[in-house]
Amino acid sequence: MTSDTPDDTNPTPPPIRSGEAPVVASDSDEQPLHTSQLGSGGLAQQTSETQPAVAVLKVCPHCGTEYETAARFCPADGTALRPKGSDSLIGSVLAERYHILKRIGEGGMGRVYLGEHVKMNRQCAIKVMSPALVNDAESASRFAREASSAARIIHPNVAAVFDYGESDGLVYLVMEYVDGEPLSRMLAREAPFAIERAIDLARQIADGLGAAHELGIVHRDLKPDNILVTRSRSGREIAKVVDFGIAKAMQEGAGEALTRTGLVIGTPEFMSPEQLLGDPIDARSDLYALGCILHLMLTAAPAFDAPTREQMIKRRLSENPPHAQELDPGIPDSIDRVIVKLLARTPNERYGSAAEVRDALSGVHARRLSSDGTVLPRKETPRSAATVTFGAATLDEVAAARAAARAAVLAAPSGSTKPRRRIWPWVLAVIAIVAIVGSTLMRKSRETQEQRYARAQRDSAHRADSVRRADSARADSVSKAVLVGGMVDSTRLAEQARKDSIAKIGSSLRDGVVAAIRSYTNAVQRGDLAAARAAFPQVPEEELARWQKALEKYDLKFRVEPPKQVVLSDRDLVADADVALVVTYVDRATKEVTSTNRLPRHATLTKQRQRWQLDVFKPR
């Protein structure tokens, strides 16, 4: 890797601190980079807009003059400038490649420095992890694995990871430098945000999360502190999510280190119920945190606000999601519904992906107005200093929080004085009774269905035998009529008329069956669930839920392939037929057909006066 700066303009390398190995700026591509894991080539592959270098406080060791500049050399005598600061890392060269310029942040996981690659002359952010968290070969390997996964995320709304490694006992992570400020600081200063601004930032965060989730990477600690906001050249605010995978690397197998430091990764105010309870989590846990952030941006108040964390967690696990409109009636109904769905207690009730959240936030969302056209006033809420109020929890706090969470889930009804353990025999008894009753009902239903099919088969066999005997008798009659002049033609005409009548009756019966099925599918296609239930009273709620979910993204087109045969039973009041339901999915955004599915179904219908009504419509 060669230097980006010609030798005549870059006469001397960066200063070397005492006791450190010198850094040789060779033009050869063979110089090894001992501790790098990804290689600094990632710095040359940034997809975001190139930002100007940041000026830092530096001093000339020759003339003693101090400068706040991004330049590397003293303008007076050309001597290499040294960064000024009390931190022992400032001014040093980390891993023989990164010149530490200044400290720009500090948290429970470690310190963040502004650095500059000694050859590429490009600035970057360097996170040096706390030695208490990465203290052995196993934890370092775990950190490297998660950092390598995070480096695969290439998206404008994610701060890119370029390099990681270990040098002189320090584990470090090299990231894209974002010249902005944390969302938490902006919330403390400016919340609540305008609706358009909050939705724009939330969409960008959802886009960044979606890029990570597609690679199977879950953030686990999404909060305003981990979202940096910068500006593009056009002045638009750009949100960038940082620290993907770091929370998982620090949590797995880090119990002893956490005991020593008293720190637990995660912020309860933005953690999902399943994460608070220590249950397995997936991408939907990040979407819950996004809902908390969107609620905070729009109302300046945290979701499930309470005086203490324990009370907040109890509310989160026992109450329905809050409506942001209670604090700001001007929030559009569509956005209020998005927040409620993001904050659902169980993952299955939330959006399935970040892309669904982004689509739900698309379009124009104007503030609601009162009946007289005036702007609805917000409810006054104290601005939340997120960087202070939402700090990382200690071990004692998390232990108390999880105890409160378990208590909220397992607690007896209010006013009960019996010990909690006595509830379980009753719960088990109820479960056993429900299981027995359900098994009995299913068995009876299955027996009834089998009896109906057997009866239909017998009726069909008798009817077929009668038709065969009638056809045989008519054939004998026609044969005899050949001997009588003029009678053959009349008999044949009568036979043809009978066949036409039978065909017309069969066609009418098939049309009636298809019309009953179409009444149900047309109602589903319109999204009219009441009409769908009226056309098919026994429709499973799970089936309606699947159709409704599909209608959120697609326009559905149904086509019913008529049955080849309809079998009548129960004095012709019950009809059974095998049909095929052809469903075409049309993307609402692009108006293009995405797929067409052919669903074989068995339909059982009952005669209701002059029409047929669906009784069973199941896959076959």
The residues that are catalytic are 221
Token pair for residue 98? 């990164």
Token pair for residue 466? 């009668």
Question: Which residues are registered as beta bridge partners of 164?
Answer: 173
Token pair for residue 611? 């029409």
Residue type for 576, please?
D
Residue 608's nearest CA partner among 529, 523, 515, 540 is 515
Peptide bond into 273 cis (omega under 30): no
C-beta separation of 556 from 597 below 8 A: no
Q: What is the DSSP string of 115-177?
A: EEETTT--EEEEEEE-TTTS-SHHHHHHHHHHHHHHTT---TTBPPEEEEEEETTEEEEEE--
C-beta separation of 57 from 84 below 8 A: yes
Q: What is the DSSP string of 165-198?
A: EEETTEEEEEE----SEEHHHHHHHHPSPPHHHH
Alpha helices in 12-150 (DSSP H): 137-150
C-beta separation of 328 from 379 below 8 A: yes
Distance CA 461, CA 21 (A): 96
* DSSP-derived 3-state class of residue 611: strand
C-beta separation of 83 from 72 below 8 A: no
Q: How far is CA 298 from CA 86, 201, 239, 387, in A?
A: 40, 11, 16, 18
